[in-house]
A and B are shown apart, each in its own frame.
Chain A
């Protein structure tokens, strides 16, 4: 069974800190791994997508890595800001199942001013 796990479930940091969110998946035959952000009462916003042939992707202060052999992905946020406060979800997508994203439960991030 394909499962995605995120640790920790919640994280609180002071503004300016660098932080890492973790995601692990049980099936290494992953097609791509995506990170989303979800704000309260809002839908999901796509942050980064890493294809299975890639090791990492960067966008601004965000960097996501993918290690298929260990079944892990990390999302690194540099110089965190209060506006980064949200729930971060990772999702694995498997070949032949476009659109069937297998989501983790998310990490709720709070950045304190």
Chain B
């Protein structure tokens, strides 16, 4: 089966600019996650969707981050305006409802200068 697709692979922007990341999960996976991994740290959950509804966004900095999952398939994560501390790898993952097996994408590496 195809894996979790993410784009772009790399992005460099200046602070205060906006940026968007895209994720296409594995077909049939109802649950989609966005994680942020800062260099030298483990990933941290930003937001979790079940179909197109938000299950958990308690760690999402809502003043600058937003995410949506239209039609319960693809998802977009946006940052506006970006700060230097947003430099990280943004990982998308998906899983089937009720299971604990996760498939991660290769991530988008964001550098804010």
Contact = CB atoms under 8 A, between A and B. Distances in A.
Query: In which size bucket is the chain B interface?
Result: 20 to 34
How many interface residues does chain A have, given as a range?
20 to 34
Interface string A36-49: 10000111111001
Interface in B91-113: 91, 93, 95, 100-107, 109
B42 A104 contact: yes
Interface in B35-85: 40-45, 48, 55-56
A93 B31 CA distance: 15
Contact of B55 (A89, A99, A103, A106): A99
A43 B56 CA distance: 22
A89 B100 contact: no
Contacts of B21: none
Interface of B: 4, 31, 33, 40-45, 48, 55-56, 91, 93, 95, 100-107, 109
